[in-house]
């Protein structure tokens, strides 16, 4: 900003301050200017997540090792889904496939899905097994998405 423009700007601010202080609004203006300059972290933020038109290329129930397994073939877009976008993928799965008589243990299957996105997103199919106990996400991840030992009590 050149000197003339800067001086004109300061003069304009002084006129505004004088006018506003006469009507009692100067403290409000100062408080709002102070609030804009604070460095406290915000209590919210804007998150942009890529939404897929379709997340599931195909899915079917398969019987293997004497247990039912839900075999999902994700779309390339679903494979790119970040952790923040997993609710959209889960919504499509539960909307289109949860009416099966084999669909059980919804929380455990959801943890397995999120686990596959974390460590096996490039596998051709993701197999979710409703017979696996719900042990929470951390233990599901630690077991490579294939835990077999249940918790001593129900998962939170």
Q: Is there a single domain that holds both residue 33 and residue 60?
A: no
Q: What is the mean pLDDT of residues 57-61?
A: 97
12 in a structural domain: yes
Asked whether 115 and 109 are in contact (CB, 8 A), the reply is no
Q: Is there a single domain that holds both residue 74 and residue 12?
A: no
Q: Is there a single domain that holds both residue 60 and residue 135?
A: yes
76 in a structural domain: yes
Asked whether 109 and 61 are in contact (CB, 8 A), the reply is no
Q: Is there a single domain that holds both residue 29 and residue 79?
A: no
How does residue 31 score in pLDDT terms, banded at 50, 70 and 90? low
pLDDT at 2 (0 to 100): 54
149 in a structural domain: no
116 in a structural domain: yes
Q: Is there a single domain that holds both residue 74 and residue 21?
A: no
Name which of 63, 68, 66, 113 is nearest 93 in CA terms. Answer: 113
22 in a structural domain: yes
Which residues contact residue 84 at a Cβ distance below 8 angstroms, ignoring those fewer than 6 apart? 47, 49
Name which of 133, 135, 116 is nearest 125 in CA terms. Answer: 116
Task: Please name the helix (run of DSSP H) or strand (run of DSSP E) that holds residue 91, with its range, or none.
Answer: helix 86-97
Q: Is there a single domain that holds both residue 60 and residue 137?
A: yes
Total domains in the chain come to 2
Domain with 23 in it:
3-37
97 in a structural domain: yes
Task: Give the chain's mean pLDDT.
Answer: 83
Q: Is there a single domain that holds both residue 136 and residue 70?
A: yes
Q: Is there a single domain that holds both residue 32 and residue 67?
A: no
Packing angle of the helix pair 86-97, 106-119 (nearest 10 deg): 130
How does residue 38 score in pLDDT terms, banded at 50, 70 and 90? low
Q: Is there a single domain that holds both residue 75 and residue 103?
A: yes
Report pLDDT digits (tens) over 62-116.
Answer: 999 999 999 999 999 999 999 889 999 999 999 999 999 999 999 999 999 999 9
- What does the DSSP assignment read for 46-76? ----PPPS-SEEEEEEEEETTEEEEEEEE-H
Q: What is the DSSP letter of 127?
A: E
49 in a structural domain: no
Phi-psi region of 134 (alpha: psi -120 to 50; beta: other; left: phi over 0): beta
């Amino acid at each position: 900003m050149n000197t003339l423009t800067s001086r004109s700007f300061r003069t304009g601010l002084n006129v505004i301050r004088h006018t506003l202080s006469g009507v009692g609004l100067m403290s409000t203006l100062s408080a709002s200017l102070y609030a804009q300059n604070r460095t406290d972290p915000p209590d919210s933020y804007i998150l942009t997540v890529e939404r897929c038109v379709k997340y599931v290329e195909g899915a079917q129930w398969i019987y293997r090792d004497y247990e039912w397994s839900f075999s999902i073939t994700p779309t390339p877009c679903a494979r790119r889904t970040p952790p923040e976008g997993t609710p959209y993928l889960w919504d499509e799965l539960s909307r289109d496939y949860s009416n099966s008589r084999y669909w059980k243990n919804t929380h455990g299957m959801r943890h397995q899905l999120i686990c596959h996105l974390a460590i096996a997103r490039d596998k051709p199919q993701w197999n979710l097994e409703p017979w696996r106990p719900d042990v929470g996400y951390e233990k599901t991840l630690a077991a490579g998405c294939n835990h077999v030992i249940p918790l001593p009590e129900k998962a939170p």
